[in-house]
Each structure stands twice: as structure tokens, then as C-alpha cells.
């Protein structure tokens, strides 16, 4: 009969062994796929209730929003939108805004996001006139540090979503690295967009090594095998997602969202294809 001392010793040994198993990552334990609702923006604009129902029926459990405006989500109050999500078994993890949203009415946005249970507010884009030179980079750092403090005070975490331009050098600096180096991790994380990283010719794993645990949110979308390198359903293009997902633990990934900025077929059909591939992918 196993005594208490043997049980505790064996449990400790088992935990230690698990910690060193190869290819065990946080991603392997992430079962809930998410979708960025920007992909189905036209459907959401016409009928958000029916679209949310269809998203849930596909099998998604989490959503990222792109429809906040003046205290409302897709034309609904925070309480009503929360009920819509709850009724369909969905959780709003994050939502997109611009720098204008971070400098005007952020406290109100944080309050609304708290009501629907949202964990992250993501700056989705910086305009060309906001990143012309190093002085502009410094101004962005000031904006993100201040916004990060406001979000943190309200129980929300700020994140920044990349495109390809963040990897272009401006006065010898890349905006992506500059933000990571100058905005503390407790004030801002990164939502890494794997398509745009590939478009810039960057290996995302190099950033997971350099800035571990800074990438809790991912956008997962594929790139077609054409000269234009356009958006494609996940699994139908040229990006090898398996090794990226195998490094999710190092990245600190907690949530990932299927997104396709432009679809050549009905968007709901596209996200169904991406969902099916990711569900079947072994990593």
C-alpha cells in the first residue's frame, strides 16, 4: 500500500518528468479556437445575432471583436452583447481599436470591455503619419505606456497587433523591436500576426526567443502560393504552422484567432475551412 510520503514523492517526480517532455507546449493544451470577427464584418453589419450563432455553430469558442463604437458593440449595449455571446457559448477575449481609441475615451472603453468579460484591448494599426521617424516612435511609446496604465488599472491588458511595416527600418530602428524594448511587458503585450510576419520575411520563432512570453495573442492566417502572396484559408497556403505552434509555450500564447482580411469565398465558409484544419492539426 502506498503511503503518503511515497505518493508525494511520486507525484513530484511525475511533475518534473512532464516538465521536460519534448514538444509539450501551452498550445497543446489550448483547445478553444477563436476567430477575429473582422473576417465576417459584412455579416456582422447585416445581422450580428445570426452571424454570432453561425460562428458558434462552426465550433469556435472565443471571439475577437472589431466593432466597438461609443460604448456599444456592433450596435448593442455591453450587457446585451454579453448576453448574445453567453447564449452561444462564446467568450470575447479581445477587441481591436486604433491609436485614436487609446487617446480618447479609453476609460469608457475599458468599462464596456469589462462588462462583456474582455481581457485585452488591442491597438490594431498605426497610420503612416504616426511612424515617419524616430520621434514618432517615441510618441507612440508614450501613448502605449499611458494607455497600458489605464487598461491595467481597469483590469484589462493592452496589446499591439503587427503588420509587415513594423519590420521596415526607420532611422536604423524597426518599430516592432522599438515597442518591445520600450514598453514594459506588464503594460503591453503583442498580438503577433503570423501572415504579416511571413510577408515581412521574418521567422516568428526568432522573436519568441528574443522576447519570450510577450506574445499571448496570435492571428493565424495563411498565405497563398502566388506572386501576390494573398490571404488564404489556414492550411491551404505556404505557411508551416506546426513548428510555430510547437513554440507556443515559449511565445506565451494563450489565445489564437483565425483571421482572413479578404476572402475569395463566403467568409463563413473560409473560417469553417480554417477551423477544420486547425482542429485536425497535430502539434
Per residue in 90-103, pLDDT tens?
999 999 999 999 99
Stretch among 6-10, 49-53, 94-98, 141-145 having the lowest mean pLDDT: 6-10
Would 176 be classed as within a structural domain? yes
Domain that residue 133 falls in: 33-280
d(CA 118, CA 113): 5
Q: Does some domain include residue 55?
A: yes
Q: What is the pLDDT of residue 31?
A: 62
Decide if 21 is inside a domain: no
Read off the CATH number of the domain in which 128 is found.
3.20.20.150
Give the H/E segment covering residue 232.
Answer: strand 231-232
Residue 91 CB burial class (10 angstroms; 0-12, 13-18, ≥19) = middle
1 occurs within a structural domain: no
Confirm whether pTM is higher than 0.85. yes
- 184-197 tens-digit pLDDT: 999 999 999 999 99
Look at residue 16 and tell me if it is in a domain: no
Q: Are 170 and 132 in contact (CB under 8 A)?
A: yes
- Residue 127 CB neighbours (<10 A): 10
What is the 3-state secondary structure of 34-47? EEEHHHHHHHHHHC
Confidence band, pLDDT 50/70/90 cuts, at residue 12: very low
User: Model confidence at 283, in pLDDT bands (50, 70, 90)?
Assistant: confident
Residue 30: pLDDT band with limits 50, 70, 90:
low
Instruction: Tell me if 73 sits within 8 A of 81, measured CB to CB.
Output: yes
The mean pLDDT of the chain is: 92
23 lies in a domain? Answer: no
41 in a domain, yes or no? yes
Domain count, the chain: 1
Amino acid at each position: 500500500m502506498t503511503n503518503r510520503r511515497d505518493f508525494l514523492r511520486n507525484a513530484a517526480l511525475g511533475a518534473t518528468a512532464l516538465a521536460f517532455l519534448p514538444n509539450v507546449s501551452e498550445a497543446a493544451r489550448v483547445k478553444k479556437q477563436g476567430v477575429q470577427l473582422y473576417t465576417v464584418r459584412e455579416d456582422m453589419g447585416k445581422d450580428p445575432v445570426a452571424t454570432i450563432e453561425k460562428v458558434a455553430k462552426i465550433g469556435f469558442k472565443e471571439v475577437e471583436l472589431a466593432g466597438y463604437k461609443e460604448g456599444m458593440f456592433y450596435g448593442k449595449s455591453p450587457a446585451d452583447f454579453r448576453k448574445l455571446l453567453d447564449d452561444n457559448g462564446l467568450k470575447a477575449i479581445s477587441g481591436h481599436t486604433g491609436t485614436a481609441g487609446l487617446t480618447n475615451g479609453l476609460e469608457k472603453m475599458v468599462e464596456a470591455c469589462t462588462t462583456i468579460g474582455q481581457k485585452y484591448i488591442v491597438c490594431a494599426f498605426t497610420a503612416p503619419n504616426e511612424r515617419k521617424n524616430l520621434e514618432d516612435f517615441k510618441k507612440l511609446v508614450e501613448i502605449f505606456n499611458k494607455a497600458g496604465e489605464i487598461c491595467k488599472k481597469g483590469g484589462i491588458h493592452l496589446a499591439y497587433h503587427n503588420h509587415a511595416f513594423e519590420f521596415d527600418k526607420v532611422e536604423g530602428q524597426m518599430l516592432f523591436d522599438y515597442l518591445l524594448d520600450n514598453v514594459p511587458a506588464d503594460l503591453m503585450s503583442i498580438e503577433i500576426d503570423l501572415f504579416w510576419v511571413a510577408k515581412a520575411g521574418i521567422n516568428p520563432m526568432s522573436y519568441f526567443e528574443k522576447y519570450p512570453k510577450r506574445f499571448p495573442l496570435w492571428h493565424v492566417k495563411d498565405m497563398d502560393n502566388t506572386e501576390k502572396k494573398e490571404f488564404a484559408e489556414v492550411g491551404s497556403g505556404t505557411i508551416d504552422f506546426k513548428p510555430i505552434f510547437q513554440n507556443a509555450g515559449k511565445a506565451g500564447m494563450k489565445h489564437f484567432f483565425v483571421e482572413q482580411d479578404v476572402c475569395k469565398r463566403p467568409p463563413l465558409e473560409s473560417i469553417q475551412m480554417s477551423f477544420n484544419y486547425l482542429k485536425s492539426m497535430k502539434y
